Amino acid sequence: MLSSIISLFSDYTFQTVALGSALLGLISGVLGSFAVLRRQSLLGDGVSHSALPGVVMAFVLSGSKNTEVLLMGALISGLLATLFIVSIVRHTRVKFDSALALVMSVFFGLGLVLLTYVQKIPNSNQAGLKRFIFGQASTLLQRDIILMVICGLILLTLVLLFWKEFKLFTFDGDFARALAFPQRN
Alpha carbon 37 to its chain centroid, in Å, reads 18
d(CA 75, CA 70): 9
Residue range 36-60, pLDDT digits in tens: 888 777 887 788 888 889 988 998 8
Q: Please write the tens of the pLDDT for every residue from 1-50.
A: 777 777 767 777 788 888 888 888 898 888 888 888 887 778 877 888 88
pLDDT of residue 128: 65
Which residues, 6+ apart, have CB-to-CB distance to 65 below 8 Å?
59, 125, 128, 129, 132
**Mean predicted lDDT score pLDDT of the chain:** 83
* Per-residue confidence band for 122, with pLDDT thresholds at 50, 70 and 90: confident
Q: In a 3-state reduction of DSSP, which class is residue 72?
A: helix
Q: Is the dihedral of CA 35, 36, 38, 43 positive or negative?
A: positive
Q: Is the pLDDT of residue 64 over 70?
A: yes
Please tell me the least confidently modeled range out of 99-108, 125-134, 144-153: 125-134
Q: Look at residue 131 and tell me whether its pLDDT is greater than 70.
A: no
Residue 2, pLDDT score? 73
23 exposed, middle or buried (CB, 10 Å; 0-12, 13-18, 19+)? middle
Write out pLDDT tens, residues 71-109. Answer: 899 899 999 998 999 899 999 999 988 999 999 999 999
Whether residue 99 contacts residue 88, with contact meaning beta carbons closer than 8 Å, is answered with yes
